[in-house]
């Protein structure tokens, strides 16, 4: 198969539902979940809220109720897809369904995965499953906090064979309910082979590979980003900050086909004190992260990583952040759904500085080639003017997306807007101007 055909197959698959959705929600759910007395240490994963599958199931006895809450969170936020951890690392290695693979020492007797998949599809959402690629994930030490055994090439090959058996089992149990897979970890050779095995069994599935952004794996559809390379400016900025390698020394993200997943509550929720302070101080912080992520590069998606409570609900400390996104999408959704960032176009996002008036904005444009651009202003001008770099192209019309009011402007190699009412930036987290060329 030619490179051009491989790329086109990838785009065709993603355009069916993934790229137009733009928004997902990533659930880190398992033995760390629930809001117990233990407080997570972001630099390690020592304390578990639940010490065994039995204790976990006693706290969450109704998988259907958990799934209902997971789905409702996504619907409330305006997400089009969800990702749920099938199993995770850091000592909390528990399969969320009654797998028949004997290598997994911890597994539930209740089927949380099946409930999640069915509930998502019934609600019109696309459910994906997280699966790790670290070779020791199936063979967790019985003592919590114990050091995992050293990874060996033989162990990785065994884990790959086990992963293929898990894929067969998932196909048999759930079939086409599964919309995609999100692969994590760094097992030598593992990701060069597993996506191909998944594709054989799930030909239409979206396959995301964490931190493998060079797309050297034919069956990979998306890369992903967890960290900024240096301190963001503004503090919520995402894509515009990737100038250096990230803390895991992985490749920097591409301009296209990347999913951004910030972690508002350090991946796992373990009670009060585990939600990052910036999200508590500013209900618009997550919204502005989303806007800058979707409007700085090309075809990016945004899926915040949330450790829900044991019943599947979003922690109360994070509810205002999701509500802010939902409120924005009610009037500004056309600037998000079915759009992409401006990479490769003439409209440039970022800081503007003109006549001692500075501010910051992101740009989106419809996925299909279009004469429409949306400027999403998250830092209002400090003076009278706001300047939007259009490389000399003059818009036919500029409209305030929320009020529908026509906005007057002047042309200075770009569009300069004077004395506009920017109150939406303070009151709603963002002001959106629709440019038509």
Query: What pLDDT does 28 receive?
Result: 92
Do 61 and 186 share a structural domain? yes
* Shared domain check, 192 and 121: yes
Percent of the chain with pLDDT over 70: 84
240, 122: one domain = yes
- Which is more confident, 5 or 382? 382
Same domain, 360 and 241: no
How many separate domains does the chain show?
Answer: 2
* The last residue of a domain, from among 287, 319, 335: 335
User: Same structural domain for residues 402 and 320?
Assistant: no
Q: Give the domain range for residue 37.
A: 3-335
pLDDT at 101 exceeding the cut of 60:
yes
Other Cβ atoms closer than 10 A to 408: 9
Q: Are residues 162 and 129 in the same domain?
A: yes
Of 335, 369, 399, the one marking the end of a domain is: 335
pTM score of the predicted model: 0.92
Residue 415 and residue 316 share a domain: no
Q: Are residues 102 and 124 in the same domain?
A: yes
Point out the domain boundary residue: 319, 335, 351.
Answer: 335
Do 272 and 408 share a structural domain? Answer: no
Percent of the chain surpassing pLDDT 90? 62
Q: Kindly indicate the confidence band of residue 91, based on its pLDDT and cuts at 50, 70 and 90.
A: low
| Position with higher pLDDT, 188 vs 191 | 191
Question: Token pair for residue 143?
Answer: 């003592």
pLDDT in tens, 102-134: 888 789 999 999 999 999 999 999 999 999 876
Tell me the average pLDDT of the chain: 86
177 touches 82 (CB < 8 A): no
CATH number of the domain within which 20 lies:
3.20.20.80
Considering the domain architecture, whether residues 315 and 170 belong to the same structural domain is answered as: yes
CATH classification at residue 428 = 2.60.40.1180
Tokens of 172: 């048999």
């Amino acid at each position: 198969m030619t490179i051009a055909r491989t790329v086109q197959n990838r785009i065709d698959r993603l355009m069916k539902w993934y790229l137009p959705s733009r928004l997902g929600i990533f659930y880190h759910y398992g033995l760390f979940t629930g809001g117990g007395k233990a407080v997570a240490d972001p630099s390690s994963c020592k304390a578990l809220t639940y010490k065994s599958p039995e204790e976990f199931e006693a706290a969450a006895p109704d998988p259907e109720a958990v799934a209902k809450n997971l789905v409702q969170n996504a619907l409330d936020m305006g997400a089009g897809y969800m990702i749920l951890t099938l199993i995770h690392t850091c000592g909390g290695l528990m399969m969320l369904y009654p797998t028949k693979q004997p290598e997994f020492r911890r597994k539930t007797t209740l089927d949380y995965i099946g409930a999640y998949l069915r509930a998502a599809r019934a609600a019109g959402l696309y459910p994906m499953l997280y699966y790790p690629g670290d070779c020791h994930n199936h063979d967790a030490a019985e003592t919590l906090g114990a050091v995992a055994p050293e990874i060996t090439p033989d162990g990785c090959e065994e884990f790959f064979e086990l992963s293929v058996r898990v894929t067969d089992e998932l196909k048999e149990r759930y079939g086409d309910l599964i919309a995609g897979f999100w692969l994590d970890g760094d097992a030598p050779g593992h990701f060069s082979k597993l996506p191909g095995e998944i594709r054989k069994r799930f030909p239409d599935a979206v396959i995301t590979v964490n931190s493998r952004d060079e797309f050297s794996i034919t069956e990979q559809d998306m890369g992903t980003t967890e960290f900024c390379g240096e301190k963001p400016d503004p503090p919520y900025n995402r894509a515009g900050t990737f100038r250096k390698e990230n803390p895991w020394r992985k490749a920097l993200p591409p301009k296209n086909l990347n999913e951004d997943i910030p972690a508002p509550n350090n991946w796992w929720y373990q009670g009060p004190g585990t939600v990052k302070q910036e999200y508590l101080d500013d209900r618009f912080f997550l919204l502005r992260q989303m806007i800058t992520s979707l409007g700085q590069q090309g075809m990016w998606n945004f899926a915040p990583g949330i450790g829900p409570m044991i019943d599947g609900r979003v922690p109360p400390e994070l509810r205002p952040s999701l509500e802010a996104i939902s409120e924005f999408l009610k009037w500004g959704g056309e600037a998000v759904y079915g759009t992409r960032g401006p990479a490769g176009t003439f409209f440039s996002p970022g800081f503007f500085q003109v006549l001692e008036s500075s501010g910051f904005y992101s740009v989106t444009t419809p996925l299909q080639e279009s004469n429409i651009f949306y400027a999403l202003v998250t830092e209002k001008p400090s003076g009278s003017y706001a300047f939007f770099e259009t490389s000399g192209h003059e818009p036919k019309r500029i409209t305030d997306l929320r009020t529908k009011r026509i906005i007057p402007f002047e042309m200075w190699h770009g569009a300069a807007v004077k004395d506009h009412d920017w109150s939406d930036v303070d009151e709603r987290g963002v002001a959106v101007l629709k440019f038509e060329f």
